[in-house]
Amino acid sequence: MSKVLVSDPIDQAGIDILSQVATVDVKTGLKPAELVEIIGEYDALMIRSGTHVTKEIIEAGTQLKIIGRAGVGVDNVDVPTATRRGIVVVNSPEGNTIAAAEHALAMMLSLSRYIPDANASVKRGEWDRKSFTGGEVYKKTLGIVGLGKIGSHVASVAKAMGMKLLAYDPFISTDRAEQIGCQLVDMDLLVQQADYITMHIPKTPETTHLINAERLAKMKPNARIINCARGGIIDEEALAIALKEGRITGAALDVYESEPLGESPLRSLGKEAILTPHLGASTTEAQVNVAIDVAEQIRDVLLGLPARSAVNIPGLGPDVLEGLKPYMQLAETLGNLVGQLAGGRVELLNIRLQGELATNKSQPIVVAALKGLLYQALRERVNYVNASIEAKERGIRVIETRDASVRDYSASIHLEATGNLGTHSVMGALLGEKEIRLTNLDDFPINVPPSKYMLFTLHRDMPGIIGKLGSLLGSFNVNIASMQVGRKILRGDAVMALSLDDPLPDGILSEITKVPGIRDAYTVTL
């Protein structure tokens, strides 16, 4: 009989499910050395956030088939090591969806009716009805930033309450937004028209301080904002100033740039602000749900069935995985790159497998390309299991073709994406066994390794372009690590691919396109 080790406290419902197929040992509070000593006896390990599953622990788990994290994040698991050893890692990405959505709705209603302050007033022996005259949400406009699973549930409940729905999500198609009942608008229009704004997006470099002093200044005086997503999406200092000056009516926050919340101007605010200590997933049901979800996946894997929320590659043995992994990394990198070139809301992705890849198993490579494509929208929430589902939900159509003819490389991958910024294509191959090369950009031949910060230009092939661009970047203190030009014909159109040491400063792209001969410029962060 299989053996499962539970090394963090989980709900009994999860243990009951595991007990159907395995002997379950609950041993919490183990030190890393103690876990290394005993993990070799077990077929599965179930954790929450307390246990850090290191490379040493995984390598000592010679019988491990699966590691289950009862929650969303898996940053406490060495996923690459587990993947190399053919161990499935699963989480529960949807276990707290309802809890988080309901908390946002509760915050919105509490903010509208001043419930926390009214409650405190009555408990002090007061009976002050006049000070707590609130507002109705009925027929008000709710702006939803992020239409993932949580944002979509908020939308369905708000619609039932008679609210008008606006949404900003650069990774959602118009058709999908309309199915949910939202009018898709840009961010600036949303903040100008919404009476309530609720945030449901991950924190990324692009979303950090998405709500800043400039956007707060555009909001209605009666606007109220709710953030139960991630701290740092709102500039808290700018928000506190706007609230104190009465430029917006209220804010309700469950998450903060620094947690626990220390000295902050938010704490000195009155009834115009509601602050809770990151309670979005803190419901009895959510804790039960994540325990059941992960326990069921562990049970299924031990019975030889696939896991539904694997964050690595389910069902592939170490030998198969080692052969496919370099090409999956290539596909993921190309997907990330072409998605940024095409713009956030991609509608169509063409995937062409060339050379030897045309005759091999393609599904893992296609999924890897989608994972890369969706990374800017979902970050760690997208994985090899849900990438296809997430793409479908966002209205992304995928077309796969094969071309067995061999070009400069024995195997290559070509991706073409249609999005906000038009249609763009990239092609890549492997140099040697693992070194990735970008070999084509928008049908222009190049040969460059990808780097974290890249700049691409479309320009006329004419003298002086390279020098002018280099001088411009230098004036902004941007250092060029490498540069290559690709062209089809002499003095025709050409592309330039530059690897940079640092991200481009704000505003520099518009200056680049002012250089005579440069028609367009794109920056990419990989």
Residues with catalytic annotation? 230, 259, 278
Cα–Cα distance for residue pair 152/169, rounded to 1 Å:
11
Could you give the C-alpha distances from 235 to 111, 210, 245, in angstroms and in order?
Answer: 19, 8, 16
Amino acid in the structure at residue 260: P
Could you give the C-alpha distances from 359 to 120, 314, 355, 367, 413, in angstroms and in order?
Answer: 69, 22, 8, 17, 13
The single residue listed with the structure tokens 């699973």 is: 149
Q: Count Cβ atoms below 10 Å from residue 294 Cβ, excluding itself.
A: 29
Cα–Cα distance for residue pair 324/368, rounded to 1 Å:
11
Coil, strand, or helix at residue 230?
Answer: coil
- The vertex-424 CA angle with 419 and 425, nearest 5°, equals 130
Contacts of 450 (CB under 8 A, 6+ apart): 333, 337, 436, 438, 526
Of 218, 228, 213, 221, nearest in space to 195 by CA? 221
Cα–Cα distance for residue pair 266/240, rounded to 1 Å:
6
Cα–Cα distance for residue pair 275/254, rounded to 1 Å:
6
Cα–Cα distance for residue pair 446/441, rounded to 1 Å:
7
**Tokens at residue 173, please?**
């198609």
Q: Are strands 411-419 and 348-355 parallel, antiparallel or unpaired?
A: antiparallel
CA 58 to chain centre: 26
Q: What is the DSSP letter of 185?
A: -
Cα–Cα distance for residue pair 481/498, rounded to 1 Å:
7
Give the DSSP letter string of 375-415: HHHHGGG--TTTHHHHHHHTT-EEEEEEE----SSSEEEEE
Cis peptide before 260 (omega within 30 of 0): yes
429 φ, ψ to 5°?
-150, 175
Cα–Cα distance for residue pair 385/509, rounded to 1 Å:
36
CB 202 within 8 A of CB 230: yes
**Tokens at residue 127, please?**
């009976």
Cα–Cα distance for residue pair 349/328, rounded to 1 Å:
16
Could you give the C-alpha distances from 171 to 319, 328, 390, in angstroms and in order?
Answer: 35, 22, 10
DSSP H helical segments within 245-317, as ranges? Answer: 284-302
